[in-house]
Structure 1
Amino acid sequence: MAFLNQNIRTVLFARGALLCVAAIWGSSLVVVKNTANSLPPLFLLAMRFTLACAVLCAASFRKLKVVNRDYLKSGAVIGLCLFSAYGIQTIGVLSAMPGKSAFLSSVYCVIVPFLFWAVEKRQPDRYNILAAVLCILGIGLASVTEDFSISKGDSLALLSGFFFAAHIVSVAKFGKGKDPFIITILQFGYSAAFSWLLSLALEHEAIQWSQGALWGGLYLSIVCTGAALLLQNIGQKYTDPSSASIILSLESVFGILFSAIFYHEALNLRLVTGFALIFTAVLISETKLSFIRHIRGKRHAENET
């Protein structure tokens, strides 16, 4: 009984950790929008990735001895995708509401199977196709205006979703057989380098340091990047993939919640319906409705007994 209780506590702790990750990620765009009013977006990204990389390097400095040319090449490709995703998302949220941007960026879950199809010739299944149809309908309701146009902020959020998907595919392809901790350090390092280069070349406005900007930058670097990664690794170790996917997909819901609280983001029936379709598409793509089949199988077994 004590062993059983210990297992239950472990599972509950793991799922709680994943829920914290979803909440942290959901809050990140609100912090980004608020902090980017003082700090240029690329400078903010450079600060975020530099601090996160430094923390991870300090935690596992000895592991870096195995880094070779292959690691550096793989890290560069993955880092470029990660930088593109976060850079476009950060710039896009400046002209969009954080909650809406969070939902539109989450379409990466639906895009991933189709990118794998292009790269690995792994054909999407019926669940992926259904998710894509629902996602397109959701995007149409949430973003397309009456004159069939999409705002700049919404367009950038959707584009960032594509690069988040590209990042996942690049990790699967170029990170195969490599230490995930080292790959994480390298992608953060490359993302920091790309951010610094473009920030120095393109951003000439004065940096307005404030207490809020400093705390926002530290929160994004340490909590949203470093701590969230640690909690995600712990949570997914003791949680089945279907449950983990469902919990992590709540990121977009938390994004709307925090945006409504702190930015008074207005919602109407059309937006809510669009968000609901996108969220359903993400659930279908991530879980393939395995949790429903599990419940049906359990009920069937109970009826037979």
Structure 2
Amino acid sequence: MRKYIGELGLIITAFIWGSGFVVTSISLDYYSAYQNMAVRFLIGGVILGLVFYKKMKHVQKGTVIKGAILGSILYLAFALQTVGLQFTTPSKNAFLTAVNVVIVPLIGWAIYKKRMDKFEVAGAVLAMLGIGFLSLKFSAELNIGDILSFLCAIVFAFHIIYTAKFVKTENPIHLTVVQLLAAAVMGFIILLFRGEAAVPIVDGAVFSLVYLGIFGTAAAFLLQTVAQKFISETKAAIILSTESFWGMVLSIAVLGEVITLKMAVGAALILLAILISETKPRFLKAMPLREKV
């Protein structure tokens, strides 16, 4: 039962992130990317801190350290993605960032000697291909933005892995609040160095920051942290990769975007990835997979 609760939590997280594409684009019309990151993390951390004020009184020193590590990793990932976007196309940025779905099981196997589940690995590969069909305009060109976006994928993979590792022994609420506040502190330090610390209050645009702070940050990362207590890192990465799928669905439903064959293939591959990792079909059980170094 807990496994299904974890999966539902991650599906909701992916849906929230998918719905945030339009809101983020509105916000970036008025605020710099660095202001956007710092404020959304601050709003998210403060909101959760107030909601769980009594629980936060009992936060342990070890949780603060681990939360600060997660917050640092999280901010670095967002920063790499943001800077990378300035030098490459949004479609390539989205695809390369989502490659973390394949990197997660590889890191677990190579560094932590963690057994690889063949069904989850197959699902991860299919999910990456699906994201490619959904977002990537195929091009052989490689630039610094592509490299930064790929580094972002690696950092996001470590965030998923360490979240799963830390949440086994720490309170997920404490861990989420501390990591968001740590990311906010890093964000405002960067703003000071960039001379962007004065964040203007713009009518209409403030709503987008509040939405991103409450839903795209506080709710989404709390759900992710709690959910990862119950399911594996690789399956978490696969489910979170449906962010691009939900973005497509909402673009069609809300913005009237016309679905193409490439989009349909991508969506089908992502759904197949989840189905394989969840149901473990018999035809894959006969396939060998090396599980140890």
Q: TM-score, normalised by structure 2?
A: 0.72
Using the TM superposition, give the Cα deviation of residue 106 of structure 1 relative to its aligned residue in structure 2, in angstroms. Answer: 2.7
Matches of residues 121-160 of structure 1 in structure 2 within 5 Å? 121-127=113-119, 130=122, 142=136, 144-145=138-139, 148-150=140-142, 154-160=146-152
Looking at structure 1, the residues matched to 161 and 191 of structure 2 have their Cα atoms a distance apart, in angstroms, of 27
Between 207-216 and 17-26, report the one with greater CA deviation: 17-26
2:63 and 2:230 mapped to 1: Cα distance?
29
Tell me how far apart the structure 2 counterparts of residues 25 and 118 of structure 1 sit (CA, whole Å).
29
Residue 281 (structure 2) aligns with: 293
Shift of residue 196 of structure 1?
Answer: 0.6
Residues 1-305 of structure 1 aligned to structure 2 (within 5 Å) = 20-93=12-85, 101-127=93-119, 130=122, 142=136, 144-145=138-139, 148-150=140-142, 154-204=146-196, 209-229=201-221, 248-258=240-250, 272=263, 275=266, 279=270, 284=273, 288-291=276-279, 293=281
Deviation per CA, 1:121-180: give whole Å up to 9, x if none.
1143444554566577678773551xx223555554433222221101122334431111
Flag the 1:205–1:262 CA change in 2: closer, same or farther, 3 A. farther
Is this contact kept in 1: 2:14–2:242, CA < 8 A? yes
Contact 1:18 1:231 survives alignment (8 Å): yes
| Percent sequence identity over aligned pairs | 32
How many residues matched? 280
Q: Is the 8 A contact 1:102 1:255 kept in 2?
A: no
* 3-state SS, counterpart of residue 204 of structure 2: helix
Question: Cα distance, 1:224 vs. partner?
Answer: 1.4
Is the contact made by 2:122 and 2:277 (CA closer than 8 Å) also made in structure 1?
no
Mind listing any 5+ residue stretches in structure 2 that lack a counterpart?
285-293
Give the Cα–Cα distance (whole angstroms) in 2 for the partners of residues 191 and 183 of structure 1.
12
Higher-Rg member (1/2): 1
Q: Partner of 2:287 in structure 1?
A: none
**CA offsets 1:31-81 (integer angstroms, 9 cap, x no match):** 223211211111111111111111111122232333343223212211111
More helix as a share of residues: 1
- The residue matched to 1:149 in structure 2 has which SS? coil
Q: Provide the C-alpha distance between the structure 2 equivalents of 1:71 and 1:123, rounded to a whole number of angstroms.
A: 27
Q: How many Å apart are 1:182 and its aligned residue?
A: 0.5
Question: Are residues 244 and 197 of structure 1, via their aligned partners in 2, closer, same or farther at CA, if it must alter by over 3 Å?
Answer: closer
Q: Alpha carbons of 1:289 and 1:61: their partners in 2 closer, same or farther (altered >3 Å)?
A: closer
In structure 1, C-alpha distance between the alignment counterparts of 2:146 and 2:257, rounded to whole Å: 15
Distance 2:256 2:145 in 1: 17
* 3-state secondary structure, aligned to 1:289: helix
- Is the contact between residue 53 and residue 185 of structure 1 (CA under 8 Å) also seen in structure 2? yes
Contact 2:63 2:175 in 1 (8 A): yes
Shift of 1:105: 2.8
Looking at structure 1, the residues matched to 130 and 36 of structure 2 have their Cα atoms a distance apart, in angstroms, of 31
CA distance in 1, matches of 2:7, 2:119: 25
Q: TM-score, normalised by structure 1?
A: 0.70
1:251 CA displacement: 1.7
